[in-house]
């Protein structure tokens, strides 16, 4: 069947109003992503990009995957014609039609853009030797290519065919036989294949190739950071901060180097928000409250280095209630700084056994600098985040910013309780309430970034009605062991 015949077939089916069988299935606006393709989608990205090659105007793949948004593009040489056809017939497709041919996909998507590329009818590839590497090239690291092809049947022009030989699956043309992985995909690609089951003799001769592109830890982190794109536009518009691809590369690189065994630390998306605020405010003195293993400390130090703040005398003061990591009593608080950013140790001042309530005194004693940016990631049970904020406002300039971590801790705990059937002991709303009730200027990102936010210090915040409403909310103080330590201190029993 030529391309013209294939497109003509679709036009006839749709014009004839055929709504039965497979066409009827494809007309349903939503369906589960077919299991054979769903299992090829790895990672937990909120958006999954799929390219369906020459599937006609209506993809059959399915567009539902729990907890994710599935975005399908359908590559067709006659996309515009097919689009007009769908619109004339009042039909919607699950995917977007894009005009192009498999050999030249890199002209449409110069950068790797897909988590899955599916070609169910490789016999329609005009030139497999050009199109299969091109389809592989537009896969993101960790992405998969699924190609179904008939055994020992010529595919494309000049004629290529697949054979099983002593060295596994190979590609043959003009008497030449080359291992498939080597012929098409180069180093690192993991090529597997399986016979595609079918009822009749012809179907039994079909094989599906699955090719997985390798992904390094940094690649995976970089992909996770794409979720930050929803926050990049409001950051630029509302706060004049431009976050570029190289900034995200820096963050991915930092987390790729992060040692294992850290506890309660910020995630790459959280770090992107902190970095954006460092870029916006260009602080000289950052105060961090809540250090644990020290991942955020090392991140602030390396960000300051990257942003050229060291030349302006940048310092990080970090304080923590405990001397050891709350989840690992043998680990000293802040150990990651030495492991990752030891060269910046002279810019780092760590104090333990103190809290936000001590900061005023510590500044007076010259042990901590007056901060122009604060990161609060300490006790999360209400009312402690609120009390910490009030204490910090007393030592900060009124227009200075305080960054809050774990604003959507409760929602994350709820998600884990459903997914993992557990009841996390960090199911707390303290930071969320403090942010929501905050009477001053504030900003938070979109998606995963809703977990970090920025509030502006407010002079005399305790006099505001919002504060009274906030502090009237029920306390969560008995919910964590650290809150019990704090409570005992406040009550003078420790």
Give residues in contact with ligand SAM (CB under 6 A). 264-266, 289-293, 295-296, 319-322, 326, 355-356, 377-379, 384, 482, 486
C-beta of 385: minimal distance to ligand SAM in Å? 9
The nearer residue to ligand SAM, 53 or 457, going by C-beta atoms, is 457
C-beta of 408: minimal distance to ligand SAM in Å? 14
Helices (H), 240-307: 245-257, 268-281, 295-306
Distance of alpha carbon 202 from alpha carbon 155, whole angstroms: 15
C-beta of 246: minimal distance to ligand SAM in Å? 23
- Residue nearest ligand SAM by beta-carbon distance: 290
C-beta of 431: minimal distance to ligand SAM in Å? 10
The nearer residue to ligand SAM, 241 or 350, going by C-beta atoms, is 350
Longest distance between any two alpha carbons in the chain, whole Å:
88
Token pair for 255: 């987390």
Token pair for 96: 């977007």
The nearer residue to ligand SAM, 128 or 445, going by C-beta atoms, is 445
The nearer residue to ligand SAM, 322 or 473, going by C-beta atoms, is 322
- Beta strands 324-325 and 315-320 are unpaired
The nearer residue to ligand SAM, 37 or 384, going by C-beta atoms, is 384
The nearer residue to ligand SAM, 171 or 392, going by C-beta atoms, is 392
The nearer residue to ligand SAM, 277 or 384, going by C-beta atoms, is 384
Calculated CA dihedral for residues 195, 126, 34, 224, nearest 10 degrees: 110
C-beta of 326: minimal distance to ligand SAM in Å? 4
C-beta of 15: minimal distance to ligand SAM in Å? 60
**Taking Cα atoms as reference points, which of 341, 342, 284, 351 lies closest to residue 317?**
351
Distance of alpha carbon 349 from alpha carbon 347, whole angstroms: 7
Q: How far is CA 245 from CA 90, 175, 286, in A?
A: 40, 46, 25
Distance of alpha carbon 16 from alpha carbon 417, whole angstroms: 50
For residue 443, the cross-strand partners are 454
The nearer residue to ligand SAM, 127 or 305, going by C-beta atoms, is 305
In 312-470, where do the E strands start and end?
315-320, 324-325, 328-332, 348-352, 373-376, 401-405, 442-444, 452-456
C-beta of 434: minimal distance to ligand SAM in Å? 13
Token pair for 264: 């309660």
C-beta of 474: minimal distance to ligand SAM in Å? 19
How many other C-beta atoms are found inside a 10 Å radius of the C-beta of residue 419?
A: 10
Are residues 344 and 302 in contact, defined by beta-carbon separation less than 8 angstroms?
Answer: yes
C-beta of 424: minimal distance to ligand SAM in Å? 13
**Taking Cα atoms as reference points, which of 159, 155, 157, 183 lies closest to residue 170?**
183
DSSP string for 57-101: TS--S--EETTEEEEEEEEETTHHHHHHHHHHTT---SSEEEE--
The nearer residue to ligand SAM, 322 or 339, going by C-beta atoms, is 322
The nearer residue to ligand SAM, 153 or 352, going by C-beta atoms, is 352
Distance of alpha carbon 159 from alpha carbon 161, whole angstroms: 7
The nearer residue to ligand SAM, 131 or 318, going by C-beta atoms, is 318
How many other C-beta atoms are found inside a 10 Å radius of the C-beta of residue 37?
A: 19
In the block, residue with structure tokens 């109003």: 17
Are residues 254 and 272 in contact, defined by beta-carbon separation less than 8 angstroms?
Answer: no
C-beta of 372: minimal distance to ligand SAM in Å? 19
Q: How far is CA 106 from CA 100, 141, 245, 420, in A?
A: 10, 16, 20, 40
Token pair for 166: 């002593």
The nearer residue to ligand SAM, 128 or 430, going by C-beta atoms, is 430
C-beta of 85: minimal distance to ligand SAM in Å? 54
Distance of alpha carbon 231 from alpha carbon 374, whole angstroms: 21
Token pair for 245: 């691809």
């Amino acid at each position: 069947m030529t391309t013209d015949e294939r497109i003509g077939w679709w036009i006839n089916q749709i014009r004839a109003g055929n709504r039965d069988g497979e066409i009827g299935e494809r007309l349903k606006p939503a369906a589960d992503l077919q299991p054979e393709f769903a299992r090829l989608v790895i990672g937990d990205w909120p958006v999954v990009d799929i390219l369906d090659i020459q599937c006609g105007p209506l993809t059959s793949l399915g567009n539902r995957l729990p907890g994710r948004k599935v975005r399908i593009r359908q590559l067709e040489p006659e996309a515009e014609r097919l689009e007009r056809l769908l619109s004339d017939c009042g039909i919607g497709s699950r995917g977007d039609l894009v005009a192009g041919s498999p050999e030249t996909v890199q002209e449409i998507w110069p950068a790797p853009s897909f988590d899955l590329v599916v070609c169910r009818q490789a016999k329609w590839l005009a030139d497999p030797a050009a199109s299969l590497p091109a389809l592989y090239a537009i896969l993101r690291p960790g992405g998969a290519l699924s190609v179904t092809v008939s055994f020992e049947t010529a595919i494309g022009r000049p004629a290529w065919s697949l054979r099983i030989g002593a060295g596994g699956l190979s590609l043959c043309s003009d008497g030449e036989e080359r291992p498939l992985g080597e012929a098409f995909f180069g180093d690192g690609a993991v090529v597997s294949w399986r016979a595609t089951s079918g009822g009749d003799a012809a179907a039994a001769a079909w094989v599906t190739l699955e090719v997985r592109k390798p992904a390094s830890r940094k690649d995976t982190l970089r992909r996770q950071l794409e979720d930050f794109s929803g926050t990049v536009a409001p950051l630029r518009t509302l706060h004049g901060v431009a976050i570029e691809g190289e900034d995200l590369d820096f963050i991915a690189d930092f987390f790729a180097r992060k040692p294992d065994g850290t506890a309660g630390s910020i995630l790459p998306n959280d770090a992107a928000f902190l970095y954006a605020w460092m870029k916006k405010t260009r602080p000289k003195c950052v105060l961090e409250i809540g250090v644990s293993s020290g991942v955020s400390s090392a991140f602030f130090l390396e960000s300051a280095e990257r942003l050229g703040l060291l030349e302006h005398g940048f310092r990080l003061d970090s304080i923590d209630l405990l001397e050891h990591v709350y989840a690992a009593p043998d680990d000293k608080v802040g150990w990651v700084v030495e492991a990752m950013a030891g060269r910046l140790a002279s810019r780092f001042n760590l104090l333990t056994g103190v809290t936000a309530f001590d900061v005023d005194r510590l500044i007076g004693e010259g042990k901590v600098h007056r901060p122009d940016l604060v990161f609060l990631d300490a006790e999360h049970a209400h009312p402690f985040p609120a009390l910490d904020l009030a204490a910090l406002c007393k030592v900060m300039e009124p227009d200075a910013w305080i960054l809050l971590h774990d604003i959507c801790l409760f929602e994350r705990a709820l998600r884990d309780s459903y997914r993992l059937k557990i009841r996390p002991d960090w199911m707390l709303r303290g930071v969320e309430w403090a942010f929501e009730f905050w009477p001053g200027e504030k900003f938070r990102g979109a998606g995963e970034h809703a977990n970090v936010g920025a509030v502006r210090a407010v002079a005399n915040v305790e006099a505001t009605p919002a504060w009274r409403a906030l502090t009237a909310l029920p306390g969560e103080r008995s919910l964590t062991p650290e809150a019990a330590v704090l409570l005992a201190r406040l009550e003078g029993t420790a």
